[in-house]
Amino acid sequence: MLLDAGATQWLSDAAILMPDGAAGTAAAAAATAAAEADPSWFDLVLVKPFESAIVVLHDSLKAVGIDEAYGPSIIIFTIALKLLTFPLNKQQVESTTKMQAIAPAAKKLQDKYRNADPARLNLELQKLYQENQVNPLAGCLPSLAQIPIFIGLYRSVLNLAKEDKLTESFLWLPSLEGPVADYTQGIGWLTGNDDLGLAWSGTNPPLGWHDTLCYLVLPVLLVISQYISTAILTPKTDDPAQQQSQAILKFLPLMIGWFSLNVPSGLGVLDDKQHPHDIDHRSDQEICPAGDGDRGRDGHASRC
């Protein structure tokens, strides 16, 4: 096979961003079944241990009298992972701060040598980095290291939902497994899907107005919180190329909102505690040496 089970599963996960269709749903379901039958090394190393840890937390909270324990278990485990990865985040923030501090000097070097002598530009930038004890890759590597952890956490919660373990309610949510136990079901719970036995009854949605509104609250909160996070963390810049990349980021909250409509609410709770945006939000003002990154149309170097 050209793709192992883990790669196949990740491709099936991406199906939620595509239009609904019987063929697409069947293909995603088949890919999911194949991955479950033959767990990849990624499942064995991260997904299964994360899943087991959440179950242990749930059982421990139940033992001390907390009946609806899966919601707190997911939140506690997510916070624990963020604490474990704090050194990586700290390194990333320190690197970004240093890069921002030397950005004006690096910009002057680029304006002076970019077209005249690219080789000299590289030497001068390396000298600038050495004098200020800055490693341009120090902000990239911590971000890359955290991506598998986030994917493993996402997959572990999704597996719990598929195993019908997230049927407990949490806060205002009727069930952490609802409104859909599997992303292959799409948003039929909202728009109606006769194949799944979900249909509007007059002006009443398939799940009834109470449950439907309860499930819609979380996507709305995710979109709002993500917009606020983007507005606060995105640095202001006059660089047209950086402004263009920042404009693209403005669509990210809408993508997260759409994602949360297609998955169990347990994943929405997870996203609320760990945005993908938190994994890689380095300043767009980080400067790459000449030839180390793509250039915008105005000739400015992009992020490494």
- Taking only the tens of pLDDT, the chain with its 304 residues reads 334 444 444 444 444 444 444 444 455 555 555 555 577 888 888 889 999 999 999 999 999 988 888 989 999 998 998 888 888 878 777 777 787 788 888 888 888 877 777 888 888 888 888 888 887 776 677 777 778 888 888 888 888 888 888 888 888 888 888 788 777 778 888 888 877 778 888 888 888 899 889 999 888 988 888 888 777 766 676 667 677 777 777 788 888 888 888 888 888 777 655 554 444 444 444 444 444 444 443 434 444 4
pTM for the full predicted model: 0.65
| Residue 203 within a domain | yes
How far are the Cα atoms of 25, 135, 184, 219, 287 from residue 109, in angstroms, in the given order? 53, 17, 52, 45, 11
| Residue 198 within a domain | yes
On the question of a cis peptide bond just before residue 179, with omega within 30 degrees of 0, the verdict is: yes
| Residue 201 within a domain | yes
- Res 59: pLDDT: 93
| Residue 62 within a domain | yes
User: Residue 177: which of 211, 135, 148 has the closest Cα?
Assistant: 211
| Residue 169 within a domain | yes
Question: Which residues are CB-neighbours of 50 under 8 A, at least 6 positions away?
Answer: 77, 152, 153, 155, 156
| Residue 65 within a domain | yes
| Residue 243 within a domain | yes
Domain total for the chain? 1
How far are the Cα atoms of 88, 153, 156 from residue 45, in angstroms, in the given order? 20, 12, 11
Query: Which pair of tokens denotes residue 107?
Result: 């910009």
| Residue 64 within a domain | yes
Query: Domain range spanning residue 186?
Result: 32-279
- Res 139: pLDDT: 67
